Structure 1
Amino acid sequence: MKLQAYENPVLRGFSGDPSICRSADGRGYYLVTSSFEYFPGVPLHYSEDLVHWELVNYVLKRREQLDLTDVPPSGGLWAPTIRCHEGRYYMTTTNRTMGGNFYVWTDDPRGDWSDPVFVDLDGIDPSFTFDGGHVYYYGACPAPDGTPGISMMEIDIATGKALTDIRFLWAGSGNRSPEAPHIYHIGDWYYLTIAEGGTQFGHMETAARSRNIWGPYEGAPCNPILTNVHTRNPEIQCTGHSDLIQDQNGNWWAVHIGLRMAQKYLSHIGRETFLSPVSWTEDGWPVINGRRWVEIESAGPLLPAYEAKEEPVRDDFEGDQLELCWNYLRNPDLSRYNLKERPGCLTLRGSALRLDDIGSPTVVCRRQKYFDCHMTAKMEFLPEQDGEEAGIAVFLSNEFYYKIGKRRENGEDFLVLEKRAEDFYQQVCKISVEHEKPLYLGIQAERLRYTFRWGYEESDVAIAGYASTRFLSCEVAGRSFTGAFAGMYATGNGRDSAAKAAFDFFEMKPDEESRFADLAT
């Protein structure tokens, strides 16, 4: 078998909890990932070689499908699963904050999906297996005695109603947090794979099997079948939460999460989607990447290369719809975002909400996909009343962000650079600026710091200040499952804004990436 080199991760930037299925025509693959508090929900990617992916849709684009009202950071949508059965696509997930487990369906994954069908199964990380005319629905749901593990029932796929009692399947191999189950009927066996150890540095993937889908399940003697715990290369950590797929050539693969470290034990990019080959032991157990640690430079029996459409480096806002790479915080008030008022510009009008607030402040943002990149925007903003503000920001949540923008105070306009890390606030600079002139605002990202710049001309910008990337890392923030986003914002800082900010472009351009250094700081 000829192995070819490829580079992980195959999806950069926050793209955790991947799930994959073959397309109905057999030519390609669809992949979904978690979206938590961001809207639209559940990004949908397509590929024909498993390595090069393009964002083609979101599964949940209507408020009726996805209520994110006041969900906290890393609340909302957790861990989707996608499957294709008899030409119809199904996606199931958990709205952790509002409603529980549900699924939606469509015959055209690039079009609209159905309204949610809720399922009466507690827990998280739901999945389903279509087998022999039956639909089995299961997730991380404890046993009646409270034992953590995987529970399952059969459902009517037309209604979501239970056709059997809920039965407990497996408690895992003995590690904490058994979750993210998938069951595959391969030959005479039903294989159950799950994640264990929590989605931090103890993360791993384990497997069990049974001749009967209801069990009893026997754990693999080679468990864990994937982990980067105790790796000699600390650049990649937290591997696990996988989904298996067989390609057109009969080769097996796993998509799974991993975390690229910016520095030792800290990463602000977030959990990303990795691809690893799957092999089978002599006694019929799957192992991922040969049970070796996953690294950036990977190899496997690749399919012919697919030319995926890349997300734009620079968006000049020339269309009548935003590019798919843009996201909102929770359910947006779309009347505050306008591409038609000034052709070739995105116009934002701030509400009373700030970046600090749990709600949907006027923010449009995209994933930071590169440790080393520069982000630049041109903004025209003529604030009319005190408190009106607009600019660009890089953030992890409402409590961890950096922003640079223009604000009106006491009848004057100022360029302000401000940081927040939980209960620590700092105003790095406050510079008087001209009211009428447009501003160029920039954020230069490196592995360990951000540099903030501003000016009246793109070719003549000054440094406003610096900020460490560590305070946007998931590990510093605590219970954070997302990653850094960057984009544009507008706010009235406590009252509705009358003035509008017009952004002529936003660019996120990758620079030559520095390599990980095993730093203790």
Structure 2
Amino acid sequence: MAHALTGKITYRNPVLPGFYPDPSAVRVGEDYYMVTSTFEYFPGVPVFRSKDLIHWEQIGHVLTRESQVNLRSRNSSEGIYAPTLRYNNGVFYMITTDVYGIGNFYVTATDPAGPWSDPIRIPYGNIDPSLFFDDDGKVYVSAQAAFGETSHIIQYEIDILTGEALSEPVVVFEGDEGPWVEGPHLYKINGLYYMMTASGGTGPMHREIIGRGTSPYGPFEMLPHPILTHNGLKDHPIQYTGHVELLDDVNGRWWALFLGVRPQGGKGSVLGRETFLAPVRWSEDGWPMIDNNEGHAAIVMEGPAIRESKASAAGLDNPVTTKFTSEGLGLEWMYNRVIPGQEELSLTEREGCLRLRGNANGLRDGGAHVFVCRRQQHHRMSIETRLSFAPGREGEQAGIAARLSDKSYYSVGITKKDGQTGILVTAMAQGSGTEAFTPIKEQVPVRLSIRSDGKEYELLYTLGGASAEWVSLGTLPAEALTPDADGAFTGVCLGMYAAGTKEGHSAPAYYDYFEYRPRAANE
């Protein structure tokens, strides 16, 4: 039911800051639900709910069990790509790709917070499958096929209960002759079918293109220019825009959720691809328009109000201190490839502490290493913890890290070297690493911190209390942790790690708290 709201609202982009790429969303009544990509991180595919498309609350994850997806052998930036969220007749559907795993599949739930079903696999397509429920009850899968310059969109009908293909896949959309025509979404709006895709690759030439026709299989008349791109606005603070989701609000107005990047100094962003929101303008001849190099999609936006109440953004730019309890970690926390087992992670062994115990995999080794993390959401920020850890053997480590991938991360922690316990700084950039070891004499809890001013990360420690002076262990360039430098599809995640010896020996590491704090421009 439409609401007669005529006011305006001012909001800030991105509406989901940090590593939240490939947004897909639906409206169910007066609620909006959204999912994003997670690649090698687990649990997979966070689910968010909103009343106004601006303020989003995470309510769960879609993929929470290894019976749904097993990411243990995935490399960095493999795993779960570009989910699409859809709703039909009381059921939510999330369709996605497990790259180098089981391929394309979908899962279902009656409550978007979960639990979600085990996978229903589908037979065709490379990546980015999407579902479309037509008015006549038929259900179509649209998916990317082929590679690079030859990328195109295929489509076929399925039995939504089983995933069985009811028709052979056919090519329905070849895009604008750019590479990587992907991320397809099929819509039916005012009696016409719109096929919308990304094109140009998820980098500087990224753009969103669209066609329309009278059949779900086309042919689709192409709009001769993108509906969204900033590829001609080199100085704009939002770049790489594309991978759009269109949806209407409760007032009948249309919006676009899309990914973009906020580069720092023109050298990419450690935050990766984030989720942005912009109103959609419909042209007189029936095309949805967002921003074709006009600069409309901005950091500070004005759009039509969706609802009268003003939701609060409290917490987004405020410090967040996690105090560990037996009730478990919040939904913002995730792990690399798998949730650690009880032997590796415990919230009950010591009251008020997170206990980690490393395995044979370190941060650079890939596999299921022990890393408990959350996304970095501000270019200027700091993290801090207090750690009690007494390594018994050389090779045992525990500390905190800023991680982009297995080959690009910065860490500061406690280890043993040449019979001495000390602070170890590791700087890995595109697979090339350096280490610096500082012996410490006192076996006391150590406070560790990583700070960023947007240009550099600084790694620090102190053996004293809350008022003790921090000791800087040096600064490292932020640019090395950008996807542009590394080739990753993710963004930096911040958290606590533990690593054992190659035989798997590891002393327990006890963390008292974890603080994430955005920093002001003058800090």
TM value normalised by structure 2: 0.94
Report the Cα distance in structure 2 between the residues aligned to 1:506 and 1:439, rounded to whole angstroms: 13
Shift of 1:320: 2.4
The residue identity in structure 2 corresponding to 1:234 is H
> 2:226 touches 2:292 (CA, 8 Å); kept in 1?
no
> 1:382 touches 1:435 (CA, 8 Å); kept in 2?
no
Is there any run of 5+ residues in structure 1 with no aligned partner, and where? 516-521
1:12 aligns with 2:26: no
Report what 1:449 is aligned to.
456
The residue identity in structure 2 corresponding to 1:14 is F
The residue identity in structure 2 corresponding to 1:10 is V
Aligned residues: 508
Residues 490-515 of structure 1 show CA distances to partners (whole Å, capped at 9, x for unaligned) of 11142313310000001111112589
Shift of 1:309: 7.5
Report what 1:267 is aligned to.
269
Report the Cα distance in structure 2 between the residues aligned to 1:319 and 1:251, rounded to whole angstroms: 45
Report the Cα distance in structure 2 between the residues aligned to 1:495 and 1:404, rounded to whole angstroms: 22
Report the Cα distance in structure 1 between the residues aligned to 2:432 and 2:391, rounded to whole angstroms: 27
Shift of 1:122: 2.1
SS at 1:466 equivalent: strand
The residue identity in structure 2 corresponding to 1:367 is R
> 1:36 touches 1:74 (CA, 8 Å); kept in 2?
yes
1:22 aligns with 2:27: yes
Report what 1:494 is aligned to.
502
Residues 176-230 of structure 1 show CA distances to partners (whole Å, capped at 9, x for unaligned) of 1100010111112001110000000000001100011111111013x20000111
> 2:422 touches 2:440 (CA, 8 Å); kept in 1?
yes
1:59 aligns with 2:62: yes
Report what 1:298 is aligned to.
301
Residues 238-297 of structure 1 show CA distances to partners (whole Å, capped at 9, x for unaligned) of 000001010001110010000011221321110000001101111000111476332211
Shift of 1:87: 1.2
- The 5 Å alignment of 1:15-54 reads 15-23=20-28, 26-54=29-57
Report the Cα distance in structure 2 between the residues aligned to 1:163 and 1:423, rounded to whole angstroms: 46
> 1:447 touches 1:514 (CA, 8 Å); kept in 2?
no
The residue identity in structure 1 corresponding to 2:115 is D
**Structure 1 residues 354 and 181, CA, compared in 2 at 3 Å: closer, same or farther?**
same
Report the Cα distance in structure 2 between the residues aligned to 1:290 and 1:204, rounded to whole angstroms: 9
Residues 321-368 of structure 1 show CA distances to partners (whole Å, capped at 9, x for unaligned) of 111111111023322010010111100001111111120111101100
1:344 aligns with 2:361: no
1:417 aligns with 2:421: no
> 2:122 touches 2:164 (CA, 8 Å); kept in 1?
yes
Report what 1:466 is aligned to.
475
Report what 1:89 is aligned to.
92
Report the Cα distance in structure 2 between the residues aligned to 1:234 and 1:301, rounded to whole angstroms: 23
The structure 2 residue matched to 1:77, chosen from 76, 80, 88, is 80
Report the Cα distance in structure 1 between the residues aligned to 2:33 and 2:7, rounded to whole angstroms: 25
Report the Cα distance in structure 2 between the residues aligned to 1:184 and 1:452, rounded to whole angstroms: 49
- The 5 Å alignment of 1:156-175 reads 156-175=159-178
Report the Cα distance in structure 1 between the residues aligned to 2:150 and 2:401, rounded to whole angstroms: 43
Report what 2:3 is aligned to.
none
The structure 2 residue matched to 1:134, chosen from 128, 131, 138, is 138
Residues 34-87 of structure 1 show CA distances to partners (whole Å, capped at 9, x for unaligned) of 000000000111111100111110000000101112211110000000011111
State percent identity of aligned pairs: 39
1:102 aligns with 2:105: yes
> 2:267 touches 2:479 (CA, 8 Å); kept in 1?
no
Report what 2:202 is aligned to.
199
- The 5 Å alignment of 1:173-322 reads 173-221=176-224, 223-231=225-233, 233-289=235-291, 292-293=294-295, 294-304=297-307, 305-307=310-312, 310=315, 313-322=320-329
TM value normalised by structure 1: 0.94
> 2:407 touches 2:432 (CA, 8 Å); kept in 1?
no
Moved more, 389-398 or 488-497: 488-497
The residue identity in structure 1 corresponding to 2:516 is M
The residue identity in structure 2 corresponding to 1:503 is Y
> 1:54 touches 1:308 (CA, 8 Å); kept in 2?
no
> 1:37 touches 1:72 (CA, 8 Å); kept in 2?
yes
**Structure 1 residues 408 and 147, CA, compared in 2 at 3 Å: closer, same or farther?**
closer
> 2:22 touches 2:243 (CA, 8 Å); kept in 1?
yes
> 1:225 touches 1:291 (CA, 8 Å); kept in 2?
no
SS at 2:428 equivalent: strand
Aligned Cα RMSD in Å? 1.8
Report what 1:518 is aligned to.
none
Report the Cα distance in structure 2 between the residues aligned to 1:135 and 1:46, rounded to whole angstroms: 25
**Structure 1 residues 48 and 59, CA, compared in 2 at 3 Å: closer, same or farther?**
same
Report the Cα distance in structure 1 between the residues aligned to 2:239 and 2:440, rounded to whole angstroms: 44
> 1:142 touches 1:151 (CA, 8 Å); kept in 2?
no
Report the Cα distance in structure 1 between the residues aligned to 2:399 and 2:467, rounded to whole angstroms: 19
SS at 1:68 equivalent: coil
Shift of 1:232: 5.0
The structure 2 residue matched to 1:113, chosen from 113, 116, 124, is 116
> 1:394 touches 1:487 (CA, 8 Å); kept in 2?
yes
The residue identity in structure 2 corresponding to 1:77 is I
Report the Cα distance in structure 2 between the residues aligned to 1:267 and 1:297, rounded to whole angstroms: 19
SS at 2:479 equivalent: helix
The structure 1 residue matched to 2:520, chosen from 512, 515, 520, is 512
Shift of 1:111: 2.1
> 1:94 touches 1:102 (CA, 8 Å); kept in 2?
yes
Residues 453-493 of structure 1 show CA distances to partners (whole Å, capped at 9, x for unaligned) of 10112322211111110110111112x11000110011114
SS at 1:124 equivalent: coil
Report the Cα distance in structure 2 between the residues aligned to 1:11 and 1:209, rounded to whole angstroms: 30
**Structure 1 residues 147 and 410, CA, compared in 2 at 3 Å: closer, same or farther?**
closer
